[in-house]
A and B are shown apart, each in its own frame.
Chain A
Amino acid sequence: MNRINKKLQEDGKLLSIYFTAGYPNLDDTVKIIGELEKHGVDMIEIGLPFSDPLADGPTIQESSTAALKNGMTTEILFEQLKDIRKTISIPLIIMGYFNPVLQYGVEAFCKKCMEIGIDGLILPDLPFDVYQEEYESIFKKYGLLNTFLITPQTSDERIFQIDGASEGFIYMVSSASTTGAKQGFGAEQQDYFKRIASLHLKNPQIVGFGISNSETFVQATEKAKGAIIGSAFIKHLTQNGVDSIANFIKSIRC
């Protein structure tokens, strides 16, 4: 069974952390992953930086630009991760935009992920129907789970379609926004969380976008299985460096 599925079966709420590979320094990737696992994070999204991250807010944009300036490439990331499964056992997901994957070659990329021990991919700009028509068989061949996003504007009909095609979790975008935009969740988000819960989907949901502290983590996971923190973690890295990751995780899981 895929590590993601196994993790989703565990009791309790899951904390997943996103970071941009190659930031703050080119060679921080392995160290950050190690620290995150050590301090009890359940799952990690490794961001493959892209020059034009159009679903991201300023924090992730800046970290991506910096990572590319530091020299990060797809090849280098794979090289950094090649021995990662010797030390790390939690699920690892690569999150990025579709174009770098397309240039690497979708099949070559998936094969490399399998060899390294990557469990899944999140590619927000690879549309659901294109995935199904052209790439699903390749992902499956290499045992990779693909995760789709839903938003407050996604129709129930489409949510059921996405649920039907998913085999891990559904990435529930908390509000109509780019990453890192909102401060806290209002009544509108709460309603949305309840609405999704009432659909009784077959895949558990993990909430992302706008989660920055223990309060928003608790709100987001009241109904959902877990939550993903990205921008707030990157801000913490920018301000405190990679050595104080423990403090950040403690502040969420207090």
Chain B
Amino acid sequence: MKLKVCGMKYNPGEVAALQPDYLGFIFWEKSPRSFDGEIPKLPPGIKKVGVFVNASLDEVVAKIKEYHLQAVQLHGSESPEFCKELKQYNFQEPIQIIKVFSIKDDFNFDELKPYESVCDYYLFDTKGKLPGGNGYTFDWKVLKGYPSIKPYFLSGGIGLEEIESLREFMKRPEAKYCHTIDVNSRFELEPGLKNIQKLKEFKKGLMKDEINMPSSLGERPVRGPYHANEKGYYGEFGGAFIPEMLYPNTEELRQNYVRIMEEPSFKQEFDQLLKDYVGRPTPLYFADRLSEKYGAKIYLKREDLCHTGAHKVNNTIGQILMAKKLGKNRIIAETGAGQHGVATATVCALMGIECVVYMGKIDIARQAPNVARMKMLGAEVRPALSGSRTLKDATNEAIRDWINNPVDTHYIIGSVVGPHPYPDMVARFQSVISEEIKWQLKEKEGRENPDYVVACVGGGSNAAGAYYHYLDNGDVGIIAVEAAGKGIDSGESAATSALGKVGIIHGSKTLLMQTQDGQITEPYSISAGLDYPGVGPMHAHLFRSGRGEFISITDDEAMTAGLEVAKLEGIIPAIETSHAFAIFDHKKFKKDDIVVINLSGRGDKDLDTYIDYFGL
């Protein structure tokens, strides 16, 4: 969370020494804090904001030039056209425009619309006698339903006493785009003379971890015991076991991914696409009939309602933006069932970037509709002909392609697998799932934490997203559901935690199914998306450490559960997800347990399998 201190007059130098992010200088003569002195040289990183009330364009321009302002805050009834003119004015450095809106008990968000494209930030202030500086707060609940993704400043009478309520506010969904806290009159000895001691205290309170800006990408890297460390290890699992030929590619990504994900412009574009293109937030739905049947409060996180029908697109949106930032002009991906291939082809079409998807020859034959989708979206589907000609071989082929094209190509991996930084990067892109669950559950149940989060695990990306913000919270039980295929001991299974041993697959040290000799074996599951011989290193660690409870579900159990959800809730789940619905015979819950099941995808792609299985 950033801090702006406004109304500089007598001691701006002293305030600057506290390193706030913005200093505000009021250029409105009627204000007791009106500024006309000289601005001392400020430490780097502090932006100078000029505050104006219905000044003319010439006046504003003159002040910007005279004081080398980086931002202007418009407190009067400046029109969108005025903002636009200012925005387009040819300054040496681009100027940021903050448009102020005053709120009393109510606010019509339609007022924002004309300003969406012509200003950089909004500022919400208390409506009172004066244009700003009234000294009391407005009811921040008014911001509930904030319809925009433009970052905003929260202002109006905020003092030391507000730290607690700010902390509460920051947990709410409407605080997601709250960018800066703006303070002024409550930190003064007299108008224009700031109380340094009080400011110091406030800044300290504001910077405490809890009062962090919630964002899909997290404000700073999370480094709990169940998150990746700097080298990409989750406990003993992870790392980057790659041949030297891949070193430059992964190293470029490793050095840049956190920085890029934390850039405000990146966050904004990511959030915008998730909202407008993917359709987020996805609902958290209370499954009444399922709850009644199984005697627990069951909520479904509706990732099936994402564009393209599964959670996979959260990751591909993130990675395509990452690829653009890295200046790549060609995308490769692997796919098993075709879900990730379609999600990748989709974002490549969206961005107009060349796309090659590797897919096992055998999968191409059994997933014809998704092959056709990828082609319609303009992607080239290349058959993987080596080895067992399924997902693991498609992944090998994609890696080989990357070795051969180290400079211009980005590899969009489809799950939390592969060499560091992929597992961590993909988990962060998917973490929007649990971020939303937190506030949605708070709205519905008055608490952020369910008793259990349940997800199916192939490579583990939908699960990683659903667990992410709960990993370090021991009150929340983590249940991972794997595919047992025809049974753990049948020789036809994909239950990696039960059958796997520590080894290296696709550049990551993790649990994988292999022969005694270290040859990777071919898994089996009725669901193509769970048909992977390994599991992401995060999940290997959750299993080994006991933090996660792992349950394996057979083809038959999954299919039966999928049909039941269709009949009880009117939702046909992807067969991957159906595995997660089959846990109730294996795990008993208490009546008031809140259980969130991540509904990772919809079943349209699986209709043929359902038809064959049930003879529909």
Contact = CB atoms under 8 A, between A and B. Distances in A.
Interface of A: 50-58, 61-62, 65, 68, 73-75, 97-104, 124-128, 130, 148-151, 153-155, 158, 173, 176-178, 181
Contacts of B37: none
B406 A54 contact: no
B400 A103 contact: no
* Chain A to chain B: the 7 pairs with minimum beta-carbon distance, closest first: A103-B518, A100-B518, A124-B243, A149-B244, A153-B248, A51-B519, A55-B243
A98 B504 contact: yes
A99 B520 CA distance: 9
Contacts of A52: 387, 392-393, 396, 505-506, 520
A58 B241 contact: no
Contacts of B505: 52, 99
A204 B501 CA distance: 39
A124 B400 CA distance: 14
A181 B404 contact: yes
B520 A51 contact: yes
Interface of B: 239-245, 247-248, 386-387, 392-393, 396, 399-400, 403-407, 501-507, 514, 516-521
A6 B251 CA distance: 36
Contact of A61 (B387, B392, B503): B387
A135 B364 CA distance: 41
Given A55-B403, A103-B503, A98 B392 contact: no
Contacts of B241: 98, 125-127, 130
A54 B508 CA distance: 13
Contacts, number: 114
B403 A176 contact: yes
Contact of A101 (B407, B501, B514, B518): B518
A50 B504 CA distance: 12
Contacts of A57: 400
Which of A50, A102, A155 has the most chain B CB atoms inside 10 A of its CB?
A102
Contacts of B517: 73-75, 100, 103-104
Contacts of A173: 244-245
Contact of A153 (B387, B393, B406, B516): B406
Contacts of B387: 51-52, 61, 65
B386 A125 contact: no
A163 to B, nearest CB: 13
Contact of B386 (A58, A127, A158): A58
Given A99-B520, A178-B400, 18 more contacts: A51-B521, A52-B387, A52-B393, A61-B387, A68-B519, A74-B517, A99-B505, A99-B514, A102-B502, A103-B501, A103-B516, A104-B518, A124-B245, A125-B242, A127-B241, A173-B244, A178-B404, A181-B404
B386 A178 contact: no
A192 to B, nearest CB: 13
A130 B239 contact: yes
Contacts of A50: 518-519
B404 A176 contact: yes
A102 B239 CA distance: 15
Contacts of B407: 153, 176
B504 A125 contact: yes
B30 to A, nearest CB: 61
B520 A125 contact: no
B451 to A, nearest CB: 38
A149 B396 contact: no
Given A74-B518, A127-B240, A54 B504 contact: no
A155 B251 CA distance: 11
Nearest to A62: B386
A98 B514 CA distance: 13
Contact of B245 (A126, A128, A130, A176): A176
Nearest to A68: B519
Contacts of A54: 243, 396, 399-400, 403, 506
Nearest to B392: A52
A176 B504 contact: no
22 contacts: A50-B518, A51-B521, A54-B399, A55-B400, A55-B403, A58-B386, A65-B387, A102-B502, A102-B503, A102-B518, A103-B516, A103-B518, A104-B517, A126-B241, A127-B240, A127-B247, A130-B241, A153-B245, A153-B248, A153-B406, A173-B245, A177-B404
A50 B506 CA distance: 13
Contacts of A177: 245, 403-404
A173 B243 CA distance: 11
Interface centre among B403, B501, B507 (most CB of A within 10 A): B403
B117 to A, nearest CB: 42
A252 to B, nearest CB: 24
Contacts of A103: 501, 503, 514, 516-518
A158 B503 CA distance: 27
Which of the listed residues A54, A61, A128, A154 has the most CB atoms from chain B within 10 Å of its own CB? A54
A125 B504 CA distance: 9
